[in-house]
């Protein structure tokens, strides 16, 4: 939606998941800010799962595993603000996935879609 201008070196992006869909399970070195723009669902943020809906604002610190899910019978659309100078997405290693799945709530969350 926006790729920086003048003295604002950031990108403003939009993502959307269909009902039952989800974003990539990932983490980054950089912090980013997310606002739920449309619908409702859940977010895995670190080792916690939160219900989210339109208007919610989520800070995702660097190195924090996260995933958005449209698992509440609705779309989930979200706006994301990031610095233009940022690292690339990091996917979880098999060892990191095993650690994540050792938490029963997270395992259920990951296997629900």
The residues carrying an active-site annotation are: 80
- The encoded tokens of residue 5 equal 């201008």
| C-alpha of 4 from chain center | 21
Q: In whole angstroms, how large is the CA radius of gyration of the chain?
A: 14
DSSP string, 88-109: PPEEPPHHHHHHHHTSHHHHHH
């Amino acid at each position: 939606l926006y790729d920086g201008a003048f003295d604002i070196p950031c990108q403003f992006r939009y993502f959307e998941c269909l009902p039952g869909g989800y974003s990539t399970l990932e983490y980054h070195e950089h912090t980013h800010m997310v606002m739920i723009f449309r619908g409702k669902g859940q977010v895995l943020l670190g080792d916690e799962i939160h219900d989210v809906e339109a208007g919610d604002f989520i800070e995702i610190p660097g190195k924090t595993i996260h995933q958005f899910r449209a698992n509440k019978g609705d779309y989930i659309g979200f706006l994301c603000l990031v610095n233009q100078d940022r690292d690339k997405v990091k996917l979880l290693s098999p060892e990191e996935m095993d650690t994540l799945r050792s938490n029963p709530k997270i395992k259920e969350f990951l296997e629900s879609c």
